[in-house]
Amino acid sequence: MTVTAWTAAQVARKVIDNKELFILDVRNADAFEDWKIEGHQFEYLNIPYFELLDGVEEILPKIPTDKDVLVVCAKEGSSIMVAEMLSEAGLSVGYLEGGMKSWSMYLEPIKVGDLQDGGELYQFVRLGKGCLSYMAISGGEAAIIDAVRFTEVFTKFAEEKGVEIKHVFDTHLHADHISGGRHIAAQTGATYYLPPKDAEEVVFEYAPLTDGLTVQLGASQIEVGALYSPGHTIGSTSFVIDGKYLLTGDILFIDSIGRPDLAGLAEDWVGDLRETLYSRYRTLAEDLIVLPAHFMIIEELNEDGTVAKRLGELFAENHGLNVEDEEVFRSMVTDNLPPQPNAYQEIRHVNMGKITPDHDEQTEMEIGPNRCAVR
Amino acid sequence: MNITQTLDAKGLACPMPIVRTKKAIDTINSGEVLEVLVTDKGALNDFTAWAKAGGHTILEQKEEAGVLYFYIQKA
């Protein structure tokens, strides 16, 4: 039977459209435990490829014939081998082109909503890594927030929309993924903004992103306004777009809150985190739609694939916003934290401009989930 | 350490280093040692897990000038 090559984009469709898929993941048990392709209706079987070298007969009864079957590995080589073995045994299966590496890199742009005067706001969902980037467009101009490193996805999108990228922001110095922000700015002539308190060690020029800074897009009244909201990092800054959307960066997620320890200063920053979540955000309108820079679990995706929820609902439902006792909160976000993201120190140095790894090294650094939250 | 056989799997991408290693280990006797040279960094975890699954012992592993060396004693 046939072996079909699937692109990461096709797999992303299965996730977003809530479709069924059977994934035969042939990586190590450790790698699978740590990080896999998450889908609402996905089933999994994890058998390392090296246990199948003598044949696939033993696993045939476990593989369904009434739904799509996708074989997945780290880069693709082993998945092709196993897919061909299954094919020879009479099954029709697919393999993921480029493996988990390509899954980690894929971005799906989804429209979040309309802004006034014909403007639009897009969320770029990086399903494999849980990163969320944003582009607000209006009056022929665009602002980008928390761009991941695949700069051409953003520049091409802006080109298709016929808009000029004018402002590029990072809400904070990222530790889990490599920012594309300053490279997009360099390519397009846009201004790159970074919170100065996160930028003490950076080796490039940037515009300071400080509390109260606003930019306007085109001739319209659409405003992108900065709100200082420290806690995940000391410089972490949120944005209110068009009085309607609250971009929270890594401070507040749908089902969790930001962790304060990735720059090594959990004890110092926990108070800031508390202040931001329990005081500053409380003064904002509950009808604001929260748009975070990450999601951690597939349940955080809405039906249309976006990651967005009313602030009022988060106040009611998000556990991290409902810890009355300050001491309990303090211990929750400083003790028993989940493992740190892969290569997070190196990633911070890349984002400071201190080291410049090549494409393959960057891919390697970003392998695995983002782990920026505490639940 | 007495090396019975050496397998040069440099430049090969996954899954070939493990495929070749398995074939090579099938040709030596229990207790004998196979030396494997690999450049694919992904092999690091795979060799450990593969050896464990088969009951083989990795006596030593090292990296020199971008090449990984594994010394595997057959179960």
A-chain residues within 8 Å CB-CB of B20? none
**ipTM metric:** 0.91
Cβ proximity of A372 and A177 under 8 Å: no
pLDDT of residue B43: 81
At B75, is the secondary structure helix, strand, or coil? coil
Residues of chain A contacting B, Cβ within 8 Å:
28-31, 48-51, 53, 73-75, 77-78, 81, 364
Residue type, A149: R
Alpha-carbon gap: A152 to the closest alpha carbon of chain B (Å): 28
Whole-number pLDDT of residue A262? 80
Whether chain A has a CB inside 8 Å of the CB on B32: the answer is no
Q: Are A105 and A368 in contact (CB under 8 A)?
A: no
Of B13, B42, B53, the CB nearest to A51: B53
Chain A residues closer than 8 Å to B50 by CB: 48, 50
Query: Of the given ranges (A66-70, A114-118, B3-7, B16-20), which has the lowest mean pLDDT?
Result: A114-118
Q: Supply the pLDDT for residue A370.
A: 79
| CA–CA distance, A115 with A244 (Å, rounded to integer) | 8
Looking only at the bridges linking them, the beta strands covering A41-46 and A20-25 are: parallel
Residues on chain B touching A51 (C-beta within 8 angstroms):
53
Compute CA A334 distance to the chain's CA centroid, rounded to the nearest angstrom. Answer: 23
pLDDT, position A324: 93
Cβ contacts of B19 on chain A, cutoff 8 Å: 53, 81
pTM: 0.88
For A43, phi then psi, to 5°, come to -115, 155
Q: Does B50 touch chain A (CB under 8 A)?
A: yes
B44 Cβ under 8 Å from any chain A Cβ: no
CB contact (8 A) between residue B49 and residue A50: yes
Task: Tell me the chain B residues in contact with residue A95 when contact means C-beta distances shorter than 8 Å.
Answer: none
Tell me if residue B14 is catalytic. Answer: yes
Same CATH fold assignment for domains A3-103 and A107-374: no
Q: Which of B22, B42, B45 sits opposite A30 (nearest CB)?
A: B45
Tokens of A46: 């994890």
At B3, which helix (H) or strand (E)? strand B3-9
CA–CA gap between residue B51 and residue B47 (Å, rounded): 6
pLDDT for the residue A346: 93
Q: Return the axis-axis angle of helices B43-54 and B16-26, rounded to nearest 10°.
A: 30
| Residue-level pLDDT at A258 | 92
Summary count for chain B: helices (H), strands (E): 2, 4
CA–CA separation, A71 and A117 (whole Å): 46
CATH superfamily ID and name for A107-374? Ribonuclease Z/Hydroxyacylglutathione hydrolase-like (3.60.15.10)
Tokens of A355: 């080291």
Partner residue facing B45 (CB), from A28, A51, A73:
A28
Question: If you measure CA to CA, which chain A residue comes closest to B13?
Answer: A77
Q: How far apart are CA A356 and CA A241, in angstroms?
A: 33
Instruction: List all residues 6 or more positions away from A31 whose beta carbon is below 8 Å from its beta carbon.
Output: A74, A100, B45
d(CA A346, CA A365): 8
Interatomic CA distance for residues B3 and B34, integer angstroms: 6
**Interchain CB distance below 8 Å, A50 and B22:** yes
Tokens of A186: 């360099």
Residue B75 sits at the chain A interface (C-beta within 8 Å): no
The one-digit pLDDT tens for each residue of chain A (375 residues) are 789 999 999 999 999 999 999 999 999 998 999 899 999 999 999 999 999 999 999 999 999 999 999 999 999 999 999 999 999 999 999 999 999 999 998 999 999 999 988 899 999 999 998 999 999 999 999 999 999 999 999 999 999 999 999 999 999 999 999 999 999 999 999 999 999 999 999 999 999 999 999 999 987 777 899 999 999 999 999 999 999 999 999 999 999 999 988 877 777 889 999 999 999 999 999 999 999 999 999 899 999 999 999 999 999 999 999 999 999 999 998 887 888 888 899 999 999 999 999 988 898 898 888 788 887
Q: Would you call B45 and A73 a contact, using CB atoms and an 8 Å cutoff? A: no
Q: If we measure between CA atoms, which residue out of A142, A185, A182, A191 comes closest to residue A162? A: A142
Q: Do B49 and A30 touch (CB under 8 A)?
A: yes
B16 contacts in chain A (CB < 8 Å): 77
Q: Residue A363 is encoded by which pair of tokens?
A: 């891919």
Selected from 3.40.1360.10, 2.30.30.140, 3.40.250.10, 3.40.50.720, the CATH number assigned to the domain covering A3-103 reads 3.40.250.10
Q: What are the sequence ranges of the domains in chain A?
A: 3-103, 107-374
- Give the nearest partner residue to A53 out of B22, B41, B49, using CB atoms: B22
Across the interface, of A28, A30, A81, the residue whose CB is closest to B15 is A81
Which chain B residues contact residue A47 at CB under 8 A? none
Bridge partners, A321 (sequence order) = none
Please give the Cα distance from A84 to A274 (Å, whole number). Answer: 54
What are the residue numbers of the active site of A?
73
Strands B67-73 vs B57-64: parallel, antiparallel or unpaired = antiparallel
Which of the following is catalytic: B14, B49, B59, B75? B14
How many angstroms separate the CA atoms of A167 and A152, rounded? 16
C-beta of residue A144 within 8 angstroms of C-beta of residue A165: yes
In this structure, are residues A162 and A140 in contact, taking their beta carbons and an 8 Å threshold? Answer: yes
Q: Which residue of A lies nearest to B41 if distances are taken between CA atoms? A: A364
| Chain A residue with minimum CA distance to B46 | A28
Q: Which of A342, A23, A374 is nearest to A178 (CA)?
A: A342
